[in-house]
Structure 1
Amino acid sequence: MISLKEVSKRFITKQGEIVAVDNVNLDIQRGEIFGIIGYSGAGKSTLIRLLNGLEKPSVGQIVVNGQEITSINEEKLRGFRQKVSMIFQHFNLLWSRTVAENIAFPLEIAGVPKDKRKARVEELLNLVGLEGRGDSYPSQLSGGQKQRVGIARALANGPEVLLCDEATSALDPETTDSILDLLVSINEKLGLTIVLITHEMQVIQKICNRVAVMENGQVVEEGDVLEVFQKPQQAITKRFVSQISDSNQPVQTIQKLVQLYPNGKLVKLVFVGETTEQPILSRLIKQFDLEVNIVQGNISHTKSGAFGTLILQIDGNDQAVEDAIQFIHSQKVNTEVINND
């Protein structure tokens, strides 16, 4: 659906050349929700602007739905943008227009007759849960409602791709969840390909099928969300994953845990998918003559399945401890020994 091959974007400034996107290769499948995560300055906003032709790459090729967009003329680019819509962090609504008029605006530009515009607007109001609010003005809406207007407007011309530029960053957690649920619903109902950029791993966790992690203009890690959660490779990815691991409870540092639990071995267990539902701990206690203490743990849920971590203190006969660790391995649970006392 979307393919980027060796794409780079450079800007010339008074301070010199800035490489905002550096040799990025990506393939995004039709109908998936693909996340691009990175901290400020990582290049993700420039990357998403490349996807709808607002910026042209310095080098490389971008293909969207079979159309190579890096060299098409302005007229074709305008037609292309009707099929690739965008929603923004700060909504970008026309404050002097009603909700219905905001949603109808791209239809006006496209030359859609008035009666068809009205019918389409009503359809979209229902889709985003704003029935009866067509005559309201943006100033009369909550942040979540404003974003729903932005989503409806972006869907007006029946796009094939929806780009989301930090679309939930200005919203409170509860409203964020409702907007993410709406995006999932739209993705499923319309078969829409959604590409979203964010600096919040919770957003990736909740709705994305796959994720690309950006740092210094480069994609440093990419994969299925559950796989990235299970085995983050890069330091920055581990930081993002820790946003989820640390969100549910206070987590002690490894050094602190070693100090607090000096006896036996501290073992970190990583559960993925169906293994999160297995009674492994009770089997461990029944089968081996050991003292097993739960030090800390949590379970998070992604679109692809559950992901959990558990740190145990296992104390007892050395051989029994080793046998217990091998038993855990046999249950398809990744393990890591934190200390070897």
Structure 2
Amino acid sequence: MIEVKDVTKVYKTKNGELTAVDHVSLSIQKGEIFGIIGYSGAGKSTLIRLLNGLEKPTSGSVVVNDLEISSIKGKELRKARQKISMIFQHFNLLWSRTVAENIAFPLEIAGVPKAEREKRVKELIELVGLKGREDAYPSQLSGGQKQRVGIARALANNPEVLLCDEATSALDPETTDSILSLLSDINERLGLTIVLITHEMHVIRKICHRVAVMQAGRIVEQGSVLEVFRNPQAEITKNFVMQVSDSREAKEAIKHILKNYPAGKVVKLTFVGNTSGQPVISYLIKEFQINVNILYGNISETMDGPYGTLIVQLDGDPENVEKAMEKLKTMNIQAEVITK
């Protein structure tokens, strides 16, 4: 569906050249939700603008649905953009238009007859859960409702790709979850390919199938969300995963146990997929006659299955503790000893 091949984007500034995207290659499959995560300045927004032709690469190519977006222009590019829609962090609604009129706007530009426009707008209002708010103005809507209008407007021309530029960053956590659930539902019902950029790992965990991590214009890591959670390689990826899997309470518990209970080992167990349902603790206690003190536990759902962490203290005969650690490896459970 989307092929980004060795793309570089260089801007010329008064202070010299600035490389925003540096030799990036990506392959995004039809019908998947693909996340691109990175901190401010990583090049995410530039990359997403390259996908819809708002920016042209300095080198490399961008192909969307067999059409090389990076080389077309004029009428051909405008036609291609009708199949590549975008939603934004700050909604970008027309404040003098009602909900229905905002959604109808791209259909007006495309020359769709009035009766057909009205029918389509009604369908989209139902789809995004805004029935009864058709005649409201943006100033009368909550942040979540504004983003629902933005999503409906983006879907008006039946796009094949939906680009989401920090679409939930301006929303509170509860509203963020509702918008992410809506996007996931749209992906399933319409088979729409969604490319989502964010700086929040919670967003990636919630709805993405695969993820690419950006830093300083480059892709430093990519893969399935579950695999990236299970075995992050780059330091920045580890920091993002920590946002979701490790809490302040967990860190405080570890600090306390290391200080007050120096005996035994403090171990972080990582469970992926089916392993998250195994009765590990009771098995270790019975099989190896060791004490297992649970310090902290957390399970997060990803699109490909659960990912869980459990921080425990293993205490008892040192030989039995080592045997227990070895057994964990055979159960496909990652065990990492935590030290002071």
Normalising by structure 2, we get a TM-score of 0.97
- Matched with 1:57 is 57
Residues in 1 aligned to 2:221 and 2:77: alpha-carbon distance in whole angstroms: 31
Structure 1 range deviating more: 137-146 or 326-335: 326-335
Q: Which residue of 2 aligns with 1:92?
A: 92
Q: Is the 8 A contact 2:253 2:296 kept in 1?
A: no
Structure 2 residue aligned with 1:216:
216
Query: 1:27 — aligned with what?
Result: 27
Query: CA shift at 1:171, angstroms?
Result: 0.6
Give, in whole Å, the separation in 2 of the partners of 1:180 and 1:259. 41
- Any conservation in 1 of the 2:9–2:58 contact (CA below 8 Å)? yes
Paired residue for 2:240? 240
> In 2, Cα distance between the equivalents of 1:61 and 1:333?
41
Shift of 1:126: 0.5
- Structure 1 position 339, deviation (Å): 4.5
Aligned to 2:167: 167
Indicate the SS of the match to 1:97. coil
Aligned length, in residue pairs: 340
Distance of 2:260 and 2:104 partners within structure 1: 62
User: In structure 2, what is the equivalent of residue 150 of structure 1?
Assistant: 150
Q: 1:320 aligns to what? A: 320
Separation (CA, whole Å) in 1 of partners of 2:276 and 2:244 = 16
Instruction: Return closer, same or farther for 1:257/1:188 CA change in 2, 3 Å cut-off.
Output: same
Query: Which structure 2 residues correspond to residues 236-315 of structure 1 after superposition, within 5 A?
Result: 236-247=236-247, 249-252=249-252, 258-315=258-315
What one-letter code is carried by the residue in structure 1 that aligns with 2:277?
E
The answer as to whether partners of 1:248 and 1:298 remain within 8 angstroms in 2 is: no
Compared with structure 1, are the counterparts of its residues 139 and 19 closer, same or farther at alpha carbon in structure 2 (3 Å cutoff)?
A: same
Q: What do residues 135-158 of structure 1 show as CA deviations (whole Å, max 9, x unaligned)?
A: 111111111111000000000000
Deviates more, 1:320-329 or 1:84-93: 320-329
Worse-matched range after superposition: 112-121 or 328-337: 328-337
Identity of aligned residues (%): 67
Q: What SS does structure 1 have at the residue aligned with 2:251? A: coil
Distance 2:172 2:327 in 1: 44
Structure 2 match to 1:127: 127
Q: What does residue 182 of structure 2 align with?
A: 182
Counterpart CA distance in 2 for 1:329 and 1:236 is 26
Q: Could you list the per-position Cα deviations for residues 297-337 of structure 1 after superposition, in whole angstroms to 9, with x for gaps in the alignment?
A: 32111111111111222122222111111221221111122
8 Å contact kept, 2:254–2:295: no
Question: CA offsets, 1:64-94, max 9 Å, x none?
Answer: 0111111112111000000000000000000
- Report the equivalent of 1:41: 41
SS of aligned partner of 1:12 = strand
CA RMSD of aligned residues (A): 1.5
Change (3 A) 1:168 1:265: same
Aligned residues of 1:207 and 1:303 also touching (Cα < 8 A): yes
Alignment correspondent of 1:81: 81
- Cα distance, 1:33–1:157 mapped onto 2, change above 3 Å: same
SS in 1 for 2:54: coil
Alignment match, 1:338: 338
**Cα distance in structure 2, aligned partners of 1:339 and 1:150:** 48
Deviation, structure 1 residue 188 = 0.5
Query: Shift in Å at residue 248 of structure 1?
Result: 7.8
Equivalent residues of 1:261, 1:313 under 8 A apart: no
Q: Which moved more, 1:277-286 or 1:313-322?
A: 313-322
Pairing of 1:192-207 with structure 2 (within 5 A): 192-207=192-207
Provide the rounded CA distance (Å) in 1 between the counterparts of 2:29 and 2:253: 38
Distance 1:54 1:45, change over 3 A: same
Q: Check whether the contact 1:226–1:272 (CA below 8 A) recurs between aligned residues.
A: yes
| Cα distance in 2 between the residues matched to 1:261 and 1:44 | 45
Following the alignment from structure 1 to structure 2, what is the Cα–Cα distance between the partners of residues 251 and 338?
Answer: 11
Equivalent-residue separation in structure 1 for 2:165 and 2:253 (angstroms): 33
Question: Deviations along 1:243-298, whole A, 9 cap, x unmatched?
Answer: 00134844239776543432122222110011111101101111112122122232
Q: Distance in 2 between matches of 1:230 and 1:105?
A: 44
Q: Which moved more, 1:247-256 or 1:173-182?
A: 247-256
SS in 1 for 2:162: strand
CA contact (8 A) 1:144 1:171 kept: yes
Distance in 2, matches of 1:221 and 1:307, equals 19
Is 1:106 the counterpart of 2:138? The answer is: no
Match status 1:116 vs 2:116: yes
- Runs of 4+ in structure 1 over 4 Å off: 253-257
Uncovered stretches (5+) of structure 2, i.e. residues with no partner: none
